Amino acid sequence: MDMHEVPRAEPPHPAQDVFEHVGYRLKQAHAALRGAMDAVLREHALTVPQYSCLEVLAARPGLSNAELARATFVTRQSMNVVLRGLQSAGLLSRPDTVATGRARPTTLTDEGRRRLRAAQRDVYAVEARMVSALPAGRLEALLTDLGRVTRALHDDHPDHAGALGEPGT
Amino acid sequence: MDMHEVPRAEPPHPAQDVFEHVGYRLKQAHAALRGAMDAVLREHALTVPQYSCLEVLAARPGLSNAELARATFVTRQSMNVVLRGLQSAGLLSRPDTVATGRARPTTLTDEGRRRLRAAQRDVYAVEARMVSALPAGRLEALLTDLGRVTRALHDDHPDHAGALGEPGT
DNA sequence: AGTTCAATGTCAGAACCTTGACATATTCGA
DNA sequence: TCGAATATGTCAAGGTTCTGACATTGAACT
C-alpha cells in the first residue's frame, strides 16, 4: 500500500475505496441508464441500439453504416444487423446502389420518424430525471467533465476518437 | 460561452442537440473507458467482468454470487459463468457446501491476489489518466453528480438499487 | 406448525456483440 | 499510371450476456 499519506495535495491517484473510483461510478451510472432505457423502450418494441440509431439518424440524416456505428459506440458489424432490422421494419431506407463510393446514406422513413417521436417522449423523461437530479448549473460542468474524461481516454487509444458530439474546445 | 448568462430557471429539458445529452455523453465516456480497460486487460488475460469481480472481491471478501453480480452490474447468470472461469483458473475459491443458506462466500486465492495486483497497476494508470484530465477539485463534484444521476434513475426503477458504493448522503 | 414471500444458485435457450477475414472502392504518393 | 494505404460493407464463427424458468433455502406472517 502507501508508505504514508500525501498531505492533501489532491493527488491524481485513484481513491483507496474501489467504489469511489471514477471508473466504477461511471459504470454504475451507465448501467442505471441502460436499465431505465431498456425498460422504457420495451414498450415501444425497440432496443437501445435501435433507438440510438434512429436518434442519431434524425440528427444527422444520410449517415452511413460505419458512421452510425462510430456515433453509437458499436462495431460496424453490429450496426449492420441493427440497420437490417430497422430497414425490414420499414423505419429507414437505404439506396440499393450508390453513385460513388461504397457508403450508402441512410435516412428515416415517415414511419421511422413517427416511432422515434413516440419513443423520445419516454426516453426524454428519463433524461429529464437525470438532469433534474443535478443542482443548478452543474449540468454543464458534468457534460464538460465527461468530455474531458473521454478525451483523456482516447488520447492513449486513438481508435475512433473525435467522433460526433465532441466539443471543439 | 455567453457572458451575460441570466440566472435562468435551468429547465430540466434535454438539450436540443442529441450529442449534448447527459445520456449520450455518459454512454460515450463509458465506451471509452471500456475500450481502454479492454486493451489494458488483454495483456493480463482478463476480461473486464473478470477484473471487476476480482477487484470487488478484494474490497469485500466473502461476497456471494448474487452480491457480486449486483456490485458489478451484471446478472446472476453472467456472474455465475465468470466465477466458474475464475475458479477453474485458480484465482478464487468457494466452499462446495455451506453451513446455512444457499449463498457460497467467495474469496480470492493467493494467485488471484497476485494477478489482480498485476492488473491493477495498468488499470489504475487508466483511472489516473481520467482523474488528471479533470481540473482541481472537480473530481469530487463529478463523483457526486454521477451518484445523483444514478440515484435518480434508480428511484423509478428500484430493481437492485442501493447496491455497493452508494454514498449515504 | 404451516404458508406465503423473497432471495439464491443453476440450467437452457435465444439474442446480442465482438473478433477476424475478405472483397470492393476511393485517395494518395512514388 | 500504378501500387499502397485507407475506408466501407459484408460474411462467418465464437464468445458473452440476457431472458425465462425451476428448485432450494431462509425469513416473515397467520
Cβ atoms of B128 and A8 within 8 Å: the answer is: no
Contact flag, residue B66 CB and nucleic strand C, below 7 A: yes
A107 contact to strand D (CB, 7 A limit): no
In the structure, how many helices (H) and strands (E) does chain A have? 6, 2
Q: In the structure, how many helices (H) and strands (E) does chain B have?
A: 6, 2
* Domains present along chain B, CATH in parentheses: 19-95+104-155 (1.10.10.10)
Q: A70: which chain B residues are within 8 Å (Cβ-Cβ)?
A: none
Phi and psi torsions of B56, nearest 5°: -65, -40
What value does the mean pLDDT take over residues A78-91? 95
Cell 467504489 belongs to which residue?
A19
Give residue B15's pLDDT: 74
* Rounded CA Rg of chain A: 20
What pLDDT is stored for residue B99 in this prediction? Answer: 83
AA letter at B139: L
> Residue A10 has what pLDDT?
52
A8–B contact, CB cutoff 8 A: no
Q: Does position A5 have pLDDT exceeding 80, yes or no? A: no
In A14-109, alpha helices (H): 22-42, 48-59, 65-72, 76-88
Q: Answer whether B24 sits within 8 Å of A124, measured CB to CB.
A: no
Cβ separation of B19 and A141 shorter than 8 Å?
A: no
The answer to whether B148 faces chain A, any CB pair under 8 Å, is yes
Q: What is the mean pLDDT of residues A63-85?
A: 96
CB of A160 less than 8 A from some CB of B: no
Name every residue whose Cβ is closer than 8 Å to that of residue A58 and which is 6 or more positions away in sequence.
A108, A113, A116, B18
Q: What is the average pLDDT score of chain B?
A: 87
Say whether residue B128 is in contact with chain A using an 8 A CB cutoff.
yes
pLDDT band at B80 (very low <50, low <70, confident <90, very high): very high
Task: Take residue B11 and report the three cell numbers written for it.
Answer: 429547465
Distance CA B38, CA B44 (A): 10
Q: Does the pLDDT value for residue B164 go beyond 70?
A: no
Q: Report the share of chain A in percent with pLDDT over 70.
A: 85
Gap from A70 CA to C23 C1', Å = 22
CA–CA distance, B39 with B33 (Å, rounded to integer): 10
The mean pLDDT of A76-93, rounded to a whole number, is: 95
- What pLDDT does residue A99 have? 85
Give the pLDDT of residue A76. 96
Contacts of A145 (CB under 8 A, 6+ apart): B134, B138, B141, B142
Q: What percent of chain B stands above pLDDT 70?
A: 84
pLDDT exceeds cutoff 60 at A2: no
Whether chain B has a CB inside 8 Å of the CB on A134: the answer is yes
- The CA distance from A70 to A86, in Å, is 18
Q: How many CB atoms lie within 10 A of CB B150?
A: 24
| Cβ proximity of B60 and B75 under 8 Å | no
Half-sphere exposure of A135 (CA within 13 A, CB side): 7
Report whether pLDDT(A135) > 70: yes
- Is the minimum distance from the CB of A130 to strand D below 7 Å? no
- Give yes or no for A38 touching B (CB within 8 A): no
What pLDDT, on a 0 to 100 scale, did the predictor assign at position A111?
A: 95
The answer to whether the CB atoms of B31 and A73 lie below 8 A apart is yes
| A46 C-beta less than 7 Å away from strand C | no
Nearest Cα residue to A133 out of B37, B156, B96: B156
Q: Is the pLDDT of residue A9 over 70?
A: no
Average pLDDT over residues A20-46: 94
Contact map slice: B 62-121 vs A, CB within 8 A: 73
Tens digit of each residue's pLDDT (9 = 90 or more) over A145-158 = 999 999 999 877 66
Check CB contact under 8 Å for B130 and A36. no
A47 touches strand C (CB under 7 A): yes
In this complex, the nucleotide whose C1' atom is nearest to the CA atom of residue B79 is: D17
Question: Does residue B162 carry a pLDDT above 70?
Answer: no
Q: Above pLDDT 90, what percent of chain A?
A: 74
Per residue in B109-161, pLDDT tens? 999 999 999 999 999 999 999 999 999 999 999 999 999 999 999 877 666 55
Q: How far apart are CA A39 and CA B98, in angstroms?
A: 36
- Chosen from A6, A22, A151 to mutate, greatest number of chain B CBs within 10 A: A22
Q: Per mean pLDDT, which of B13-27, B86-100, B132-146 is the most reliable?
A: B132-146
Distance in Å, residue B59 CA to nucleotide C11 C1' = 30
Whole-number pLDDT of residue B155: 76
Query: Is pLDDT at A115 greater than 90 in this prediction?
Result: yes
Using left for φ > 0, alpha for ψ between -120 and 50, and beta otherwise, residue A121 falls in alpha
| pLDDT tops 80 at residue B10 | no
pLDDT at A14 over 60: yes
| Protein residue minimizing CA–C1' distance to D18 | B75
Would you say residue A73 has pLDDT above 50?
yes
